[in-house]
A = this chain, B = another copy of it.
């Protein structure tokens, strides 16, 4: 099945609808049906003590990547909202770009659920953060 949004569309939707994520410099890199990846470029102001990337920046990229994975399935429905997000920080990333890879585990009529794995761009085999996330999908008539 083809994705119902493209990378360019998702980057535009992010700029318009999720400006906080766009302002962090996040950009989508790939979208396919039920899956999306994005990059959080390194910036000094996202560091925490010890030189590690701050948790809220990781949660922001995870949240918007899951938004992309949801829209890849249902199309550009901008009233989809996060209802829960559970982040587990597994190791402290070195300063550097982070990559987030999100996939749907379930996409029903009213709820979508999936997971996002974050890695350092230069150590793709060692997850730094794992997130699960539930999105609420508005009923057809409310879109």
Contacts and interface: CB of A to CB of B under 8 A. Distances in A.
Nearest to A44: B19
Interface string A17-36: 11111010000000000000
Contacts of A87: 59, 84-86
Interface residues of A, number: 46
Contacts of A126: 106
A15 to B, nearest CB: 11
Contacts of A56: 20-21, 56, 59-60, 63-64
A59 B57 contact: no
Interface string A50-77: 1010111101100110000000000000
Given A88-B132, A90-B105, 12 more contacts: A49-B78, A50-B79, A55-B63, A56-B59, A59-B59, A59-B87, A84-B87, A84-B88, A90-B106, A105-B127, A105-B130, A132-B132
